[in-house]
């Protein structure tokens, strides 16, 4: 393929087939430990990369409530104080089961963790780890999420 044709494909044709952004909610779980903040990261089920708990909105729950539900299912956070306003937004491409990438905008809600469980719905599918916000920023891949973690 010639360079001008490739540019035309990328710049003009490809955007016509892009899907609109879908919305997810995420839980930025943190705690105070020895006078310092720590952030809870979990591994993704597919690639094993480090992420924060997140998922699609849940019918009957507001966005902060859905973020807390995701924190329970994916990381074992049983209770915590959730911010009513998002502390940030990050975007990424999620690959669906069909193999197609979908652009996702993720609202991030801070959760000060007050109780965790060792047994939770996805315990066999994920690992979890408490780290400093700066270490967490180095472990996740999404640049906007890295900035949210650094700002914590």
Which two three-digit tokens encode residue 114?
């007050």
- CA nearest neighbour of 69 among 86, 57, 51: 57
**Global pTM value:** 0.84
In a domain, residue 147? The reply is yes
Is pLDDT above 60 for 63?
Answer: yes
Number of domains the chain contains: 1
- Tokens representing 50 are 């480090």
Confirm if 89 and 144 have CB atoms less than 8 A apart. yes
Has residue 8 been placed in a domain? no
Position 97 scores a pLDDT of 80
Q: Determine which of 17-21, 107-111, 134-138 has the lowest per-residue pLDDT on average.
A: 17-21
In a domain, 10, yes or no: no
Average pLDDT value for the chain: 91
Sign, CA dihedral 111-102-42-38, equals: negative
For position 38, what pLDDT does the model report?
98
12 within some domain: no
Strands 88-95, 101-116: parallel, antiparallel or unpaired by DSSP? antiparallel
Question: How far is Cα of residue 115 from the mean position of the Cα atoms in its chain?
Answer: 20
CATH code, domain with 128: 3.90.79.10
Q: What is the pLDDT of residue 119?
A: 97
- Cα–Cα distance for residue pair 133/152, rounded to 1 Å: 7
pLDDT at 128 over 60: yes
Query: Is residue 44 one of the residues assigned to a domain?
Result: yes
Domain with 34 in it: 19-151
Classify residue 6: in a domain, yes or no.
no
Instruction: Give the pLDDT of residue 109.
Output: 98
């Amino acid at each position: 393929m010639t360079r001008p044709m490739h540019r035309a494909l990328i710049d003009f044709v490809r955007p016509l087939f892009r899907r609109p952004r879908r919305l997810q909610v995420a839980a930025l779980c943190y705690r105070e430990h020895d006078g310092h903040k720590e952030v809870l990261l979990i591994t993704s089920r597919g690639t094993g990369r480090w992420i924060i708990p997140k998922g699609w909105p849940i019918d009957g729950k507001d966005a902060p409530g859905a973020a807390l539900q995701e924190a329970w299912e994916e990381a074992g956070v049983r209770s915590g104080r959730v911010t009513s306003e998002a502390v940030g937004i990050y975007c990424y491409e999620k690959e669906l089961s069909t193999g197609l990438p979908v652009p996702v905008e993720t609202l991030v809600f801070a959760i000060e963790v007050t109780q965790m469980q060792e047994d939770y719905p996805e315990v066999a599918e994920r690992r979890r780890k408490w780290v400093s916000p700066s270490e967490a920023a180095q472990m996740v891949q999404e640049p906007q999420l890295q900035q949210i973690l650094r700002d914590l």
